[in-house]
Amino acid sequence: MNQDLSYTRRVFLTGPAVAAGLTSSPLVTASSSAVIKRPASEKSNRKPIIISSANGFHAAKLAMKKISENGDDPLDAVIAGVNLVEEDPNDLSVGFGGLPNEQGDVELDAAVMHGPTHRAGAVAALRGIKYPSRVAKLVMSRSDHVLLVGQGALDFAQAHGFQEEPLLTDRARRVWLHWKETLSNRDDWLSPADNQVAADIRQYATHRETGTIHMSAMDQNGDLASVTTTSGMAFKIPGRVGDSPIIGAGLYVDNEVGAAGSTGRGEANLANLSCYQVVENMRNGMSPVNACLDVCKRIAEHTREPRLLTNGNPNFNVLFYALNKAGQYGGAGLKRGSQFVVHNGQQPRLINCAYLYE
C-alpha cells in the first residue's frame, strides 16, 4: 500500500508517478555466466518499462527495443542503452568526452546489478576504457568480486579483450584547461581574454559538472536490472570514487521489490546509502516518488557543513529514479527543474521530477 509523507520542508510533486510494465532474462556478452532462461510456460507477458536520467532519452529507445523485440535480458538491454552515452563525446559527464580529474586524466566509474540473480559488478577510477559498464558486467559475471578499481580494473578489462584508448576529447581538454587557468591568479597558468573563450567552455570555470547516466528496466517477466555509469565529478582529486560504482549508494535492485538509481552529488549518496534506502522504502509500502522524496529529505537533514548550505538548504542537487515491481515509477530531487525519462513501450518521454526546494 502506498503511503504519503508529511515534510517539514516544502514538498512539490510534479508529473505523473505511475505507469505500467515488467521483465525477464538472457545477459550481454556471450561469456556471461549469469544468464537466466525461463521456459515459455513461465513467461508472464507483462509490458516492459524503462526509466533513466534525462540524458538517456535515446538510450531508453535502444534498451526498449532490445527487450521488446529481441527478448534480451534487462541487464544487457540497459547496458546497450548507456553505451550510446558512454561513446558520445558531447556528454561531458560520462565515458568518452567526460571531464577529467584535476590532472587532466579521465577516470570512469560504473556499476550494474541483475535482479534475478542478485549479482552485482562495478569498476572505479578506470582509465582508458570507453565502456566501463561492460567491464562492470564482466566483473559480475567473470569474477568472484563485486568491485575492481584503478590499475586492477584496467588489467581485468584488457585481459577480456578491451583496448585502451584516449578518452580526453579536445572539448573536454579545453574545459579542463580553462578551469585550471582560472582556478587561481597566484600560479603560472595564464588564461586568455574572456572574449577568446567560448561561452560553453567558460561556464565550467565556476560550475563543477556532476552528471551521470542511470537506467533501470523491467522486462516482460517482471525481472529488473540497473546500470549507472559516469566520469564522476569534474576536476576531482585523482582516485576519487563517487557513489555510482557503490552498490546501495549509486544504484540498487531487489527483484522482488524494485530498482533505484541516482545522479548528482555522489558524496551525499555515499554518506546516506541512498539507493538501498529508496528500495527499502518501496518494500515498506511507499510509492516510488515518495520513496525518492523521503531519501531527499534525509540527505537534506544530514547536510550540516556550512560550505554545503545556502539559506539552510543544500546548495547541491541529488536526483533519484525508482521503479517498483508493480510497474510504478517516480523521480525526485532536492531542487526544482529536473526531469527523467520513462519508456513504457510507446515512445520515451520526459517527466518532471518531484522536489523539495525551489
Instruction: State the average pLDDT over residues 342-358.
Output: 96
Q: Which residue has the cell 585523482?
A: 238
Measure the CA–CA gap between 75 and 103, rounded to whole angstroms: 34
**Which residue in the list 210, 212, 228, 303 is annotated as catalytic?**
212
> How confident is residue 195, by pLDDT bands cut at 50, 70 and 90?
low
User: Is the distance from CB of 24 to CB of 217 less than 8 angstroms?
Assistant: no
Torsion sign over Cα 114, 249, 263, 158 = negative
pLDDT digit string, tens, across residues 137-150 = 999 999 999 999 99
pLDDT digit string, tens, across residues 52-95 = 999 999 999 999 999 999 999 999 999 999 999 999 999 999 99
pLDDT surpasses 80 at 9 = no
Tell me the CA distances in angstroms from 28 to 80, 83, 296, one per residue in order.
8, 12, 33
Identify which of 315, 308, 357, 311 has the alpha carbon closest to the alpha carbon of residue 332.
357
Identify which of 52, 28, 43 has the alpha carbon closest to the alpha carbon of residue 223.
43
Share above pLDDT 90 across residues of the chain, in percent, rounded to a whole number? 78
Report pLDDT for 186: 85
Distance of CA 86 to the CA centre of its chain: 12
Report pLDDT for 140: 98
> How confident is residue 25, by pLDDT bands cut at 50, 70 and 90?
very low
Measure the CA–CA gap between 293 and 314, rounded to whole angstroms: 14
- In one-letter notation, the amino acid at residue 223 is D
Catalytic site includes residue 206: no
| b/e 324-345 (16+ beta carbons within 10 angstroms → b) | bbbbbbbbbbbbeebbbbbbbe
Instruction: State the average pLDDT over residues 170-183.
Output: 92
> How confident is residue 44, by pLDDT bands cut at 50, 70 and 90?
low
Q: Classify 221 as helix, strand or coil.
A: coil
Report pLDDT for 289: 98
> How confident is residue 45, by pLDDT bands cut at 50, 70 and 90?
confident
Report pLDDT for 182: 87
> How confident is residue 152, by pLDDT bands cut at 50, 70 and 90?
very high
Instruction: State the average pLDDT over residues 155-178.
Output: 96
Sequence-separated (6 or more) residues with CB below 8 Å from residue 319: 53, 262, 263, 264, 331, 332, 333, 338, 340, 353
Sequence-separated (6 or more) residues with CB below 8 Å from residue 11: 5, 293, 354, 355, 356
Per-chain mean pLDDT for the chain:
88
Q: Higher model confidence: residue 291 or residue 31?
A: 291
User: Is the distance from CB of 253 to CB of 23 less than 8 angstroms?
Assistant: no
Quickly list DSSP for 234-302: TTPPTT---STTSBTTTEEEETTTEEEEEEE-HHHHHHHTHHHHHHHHHHTT--HHHHHHHHHHHHHHH
Measure the CA–CA gap between 234 and 250, rounded to whole angstroms: 17
pLDDT digit string, tens, across residues 102-117 = 999 999 999 999 999 9
pLDDT surpasses 80 at 3 = no
188: cell is: 603560472
Among the residue ranges 12-21, 50-59, 124-133, 309-318, the one predicted with the least confidence is: 12-21
pLDDT surpasses 80 at 259 = yes
Share above pLDDT 70 across residues of the chain, in percent, rounded to a whole number? 84
> Where do the domains of the chain lie?
41-168+209-357
pLDDT surpasses 70 at 24 = no
pLDDT digit string, tens, across residues 309-334 = 999 999 999 999 999 999 999 999 99
Among the residue ranges 10-14, 50-54, 240-244, 278-282, the one predicted with the least confidence is: 10-14
User: Is the distance from CB of 16 to CB of 352 less than 8 angstroms?
Assistant: no
Measure the CA–CA gap between 99 and 157, rounded to whole angstroms: 21
CA 35, 279, 246, 235: dihedral to nearest 10 degrees?
Answer: 120
Q: Classify 192 as helix, strand or coil.
A: coil
| CATH homologous superfamily of 41-168+209-357 | (Glycosyl)asparaginase (3.60.20.30)
